[in-house]
Amino acid sequence: MQQCRVSGGEKEGTMKWDDSFAIGIEAIDNQHKKIFEHLLAIENSVAKREPWHILHFFLRQLAESLKFHLAVEESLLEIVRYPDIAYHGAAHAGLLEQMAELESRLQQKPSAESLVGFFETWFVRHVLSADREYAAYIEENFPRLMGGSQAPAGS
Ligand SMILES: [Fe+2]
Ligand SMILES: [Fe+2]
């Protein structure tokens, strides 16, 4: 099974992407993977005690990637008229607030612990749960939008 990890640091990230995390829509999965990589870069940067301007750079990358991804998802959910779009959008707003909190916590005290809470909220609670719910809806109602390894044979 393919794993995605960011290396190059003295300490390798403890969070690893596994293809079983995929929700089955290739573009979305690639964005989730990208966000995962940004988190690993931050984790490595914290572990190496890099100065704030470097850590801040990785945080900006994470924030941009997250904002872009959430906007893409919200457009997708609008297009497919996902019934729980309001609830999903509210969860996204919460994630952006958490992202801002993560940044200020890391600025005050750069520790890997600050990352754990964000990672659990974003990934474990959101991607593996809420995002999977809309993916199931899309699979049922718009199977042609599903891509990647779980894509149905075309035509
Ligand atoms: Fe997502
Ligand atoms: Fe989402």
* Distance between start and end Cα atoms, the chain: 28
Smallest Cα–Cα separation from 143: which of 48, 25, 3, 7? 25
For ligand 1, the distance from its centroid to the CA atom of residue 114, given in whole angstroms, is 21
Instruction: Determine the distance separating the centroid of ligand 1 and the alpha carbon of 121, expressed in angstroms.
Output: 12
Domain boundaries, the chain: 25-142
State which fold the 25-142 domain adopts: Four Helix Bundle (Hemerythrin (Met), subunit A) (1.20.120)
CA of 35 to the centre of ligand 1 (A): 9
Query: What are the pLDDT tens digits along the chain (155 aa)?
Result: 334 343 333 445 566 788 899 999 999 999 999 999 999 999 999 999 999 999 999 999 999 999 999 999 999 999 999 999 999 999 999 999 999 999 999 999 999 888 988 998 998 889 999 999 999 999 999 999 997 544 444 43
Give the distance (Å) from ligand 1 centre to CA of residue 34: 11
- Of the candidates 128, 110, 154, 112, which has an alpha carbon nearest to the alpha carbon of residue 32? 128
